[in-house]
Chains A and B, each alone.
Chain A
């Protein structure tokens, strides 16, 4: 029972970080290799608050989110004007810089990590689930708000979005801050759930694993991210024996998804009655359209959301 509960808690924690990244990458089209850095900031801030200042978990959680958010504002100011690859490389540099800083900071344990951080006990295990639920509701409302539609517009065509009066930089900044705060909160929960943190838990592999979950779930789908996070956190536990091959399959699957079904597991389709209805309607329209226009127009998967919204 404890084991299952542990996996569920980890799923919830991963889900929180993945939701943020889903908003940033899936909805806004910004690719980050450095979100483990934000998780690390959250984890270490929470550890300092609980282990050194002896404050309650809830306070540490909020502080972790705020800290990650502040850092993201600074990072965004510096890098959000950069395009595509430059932003990627900058986030990669950021993530690694955070990890290396922590490696050299003896007061928080340095490279060997920090043990004996206060852990959740008894009913406190509910905290990650509550936060995850809140994060889902928040993300859902965000992407369905005016602000969320702005994000999608920025992803689809930045120039056109700008011409329609959307403040592109502001939208990107919003997405980055939201994703960083969520990653920071996830990191804080992780620190207090496991009771041990080390810089190497927040390396680039952690960042890419989060991205992989977003891609599996589908770019531009909140429910996809939820399903992806639950599935991809639990599956490795089931297939323990193949743990060496887990990432081999992930890598292969990412390529296959991008080449074959870029919208991912759910891509653009949301798991709600209206979402499913919309998706089915879209499928019907597409079938009719295919009948009318002779099949010489190649299906262009230009948009990650060519499943539902069109």
Chain B
């Protein structure tokens, strides 16, 4: 298997300013990467809130999204927004197909939780290696869309792609929050997450809600994949960064959307601060150590609710 390309940042402007400016610079970088983690973590957490199991195939859907966007731009010559849309639709479709073919038979059978996780793992292995076998393991570069030159604000330098990542993620997340809080379907999702059986008895089509949730999670994953691919590269192991979204979701409390959001931003900040002030090599290590520490001290996360289910 090919080695994962080093996640060296495409460019990171070293500001010559003082300690304060450097800190603000790290803050900006942290929020930018954190907003991508948020896109991933929210989709993952949404599925968890309904299905009560970790969809470990989420990362593979993100990876496919990155490839969809890449091919749409490279071969269809699609414009940047169109590529986004195609990637989101494609990933949503994959997520729904996965649900129908792999998870639904298990749900129908009332299979134990262990089987869901194993199936998700199998799906992830299948998708990742299918891409390696067909497209190949070599990383691919997105066509350049944003100028390399960053926007200079006083002593700070903001990469255009970083800004786009933040804006697009924020728009998607706000749209999702509005959808969940203010539409009938959103209410149905909330109700199903609260109690699936009771919701079904109240006339909510829970099967549809599940498909909807997978579609939303998949769509967000696709957008996250394109953004990540644009900032770095596209390669079959992109999915590995979903580990970050698991961590983010656990930080915030599994199944809680605001929790996933806060956890993701926090994780992004911690990572950039560690790589900025300590060393890039310790970035992931510290993320995992904090994860285990968090699980020990407060397994329900920052925003977590029902403790007895998890402890």
> Chain A residues in contact with chain B, CB under 8 A?
25, 29, 31, 33, 78-79, 81-86, 88-90, 92-94, 96-97, 100-101, 103-104, 200, 204-205, 208, 211-212, 215, 219, 244-248, 250-255, 257-259, 262, 298, 300-304
Contact = CB atoms under 8 A, between A and B. Distances in A.
Nearest to A92: B243
Given A83-B309, A244-B133, A255 B292 contact: no
B288 A85 contact: no
B3 A200 contact: yes
Top 10 A-B pairs, shortest CB-CB distance: A251-B126, A254-B122, A251-B125, A247-B129, A97-B288, A100-B285, A244-B133, A93-B288, A258-B119, A85-B54
Nearest to A200: B3
Contact of B125 (A82, A84, A212): A212
A79 B295 CA distance: 7
A259 to B, nearest CB: 5
Interface of B: 1, 3, 48, 53-54, 56, 101-102, 105-106, 109-115, 117-119, 121-130, 132-133, 240, 243, 246-247, 250, 254, 281-282, 284-285, 288-289, 291-292, 295-296, 299, 309-311
Given A78-B295, A300-B109, A86 B250 contact: yes
Contacts of A253: 122
Contacts of A104: 281-282, 285
A89 B291 contact: yes
Task: Label chain B's interface by main secondary structure.
Answer: helix
Contact of B122 (A84, A89, A251): A251
Given A81-B311, A89-B250, A254 B53 contact: no
A82 B121 contact: no
Contact of B118 (A85, A90, A103, A211): A211
Given A100-B284, A250-B125, A93 B118 contact: no
Contact of A90 (B48, B133, B282, B295): B295
Instruction: From B113, B123, B126, name the one whose CB has the most chain A CB atoms within 10 angstroms.
Output: B126
Contacts of A245: 129, 133
- For the residues of A in contact with B, the DSSP-based class is helix
A251 B3 contact: no
Contact of B127 (A103, A251, A301): A251
A31 B114 contact: yes
A212 B117 CA distance: 12
Contacts of A300: 109-110
22 contacts: A33-B121, A78-B292, A85-B54, A85-B254, A89-B246, A90-B291, A93-B243, A93-B247, A93-B292, A97-B285, A97-B292, A104-B282, A104-B285, A204-B240, A244-B129, A245-B133, A248-B129, A251-B130, A254-B119, A258-B106, A258-B115, A304-B112
Contact of A262 (B1, B111, B291): B111
Nearest to A219: B114
A212 B284 CA distance: 26
A82 B123 contact: no
A88 B117 contact: yes
A89 B54 CA distance: 9
A255 B109 CA distance: 15
Contacts of B282: 104
Contacts of A97: 285, 288-289, 292
Nearest to A89: B246
Contacts of B124: 251
